[in-house]
């Protein structure tokens, strides 16, 4: 089960998320754990359900500054907030 990467409200606004507290995430390019600071805007995110019992039940895959990251959903939600970023076209 997955959810939308960017939510468009009423065809006018696109919603992204901003990190408000430091968060530990997996950098998918370097294959290493990184600490992301407050103030970073997440341009896209996707909630993914874990398949194996050893996996987190839900994780978030997201992008920022051209890099791809992932972390547990229970870590992501309390450390980010929704922000309106751009006017949606359409």
Determine, yes or no, domain membership for 76. Answer: yes
CA distance 90 to 69: 29
In this prediction the pTM is 0.75
Closest-CA residue to 14 (of 77, 90, 87, 89): 87
Residue 4: per-residue pLDDT: 40
Q: What is the pLDDT of residues 41-88, one digit of tens each?
A: 998 788 999 888 888 899 999 999 999 999 999 999 999 998 866 655
Q: What is the pLDDT of residues 11-25, one digit of tens each?
A: 555 678 999 999 999
Determine, yes or no, domain membership for 71. Answer: yes
Q: For residue 30, what pLDDT band results from cuts at 50, 70 and 90? A: very high
Q: In terms of residue numbers, what domain contains 52? A: 7-87
Residue 12: per-residue pLDDT: 55
Determine, yes or no, domain membership for 40. Answer: yes
- The residues facing 46 across adjacent strands are 61
Domain count along the chain: 1
Determine, yes or no, domain membership for 1. Answer: no
């Amino acid at each position: 089960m997955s959810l939308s990467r960017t939510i468009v409200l009423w065809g006018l606004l696109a919603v992204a998320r901003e990190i408000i507290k430091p968060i530990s995430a997996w950098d998918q390019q370097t294959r290493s754990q990184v600490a992301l600071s407050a103030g970073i805007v997440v341009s896209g995110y996707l909630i993914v359900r874990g398949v194996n019992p050893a996996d987190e039940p839900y994780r978030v895959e997201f992008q920022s500054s051209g890099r791809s990251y992932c972390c547990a959903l229970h870590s992501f939600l309390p450390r980010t907030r929704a922000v309106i970023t751009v006017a949606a076209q359409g």
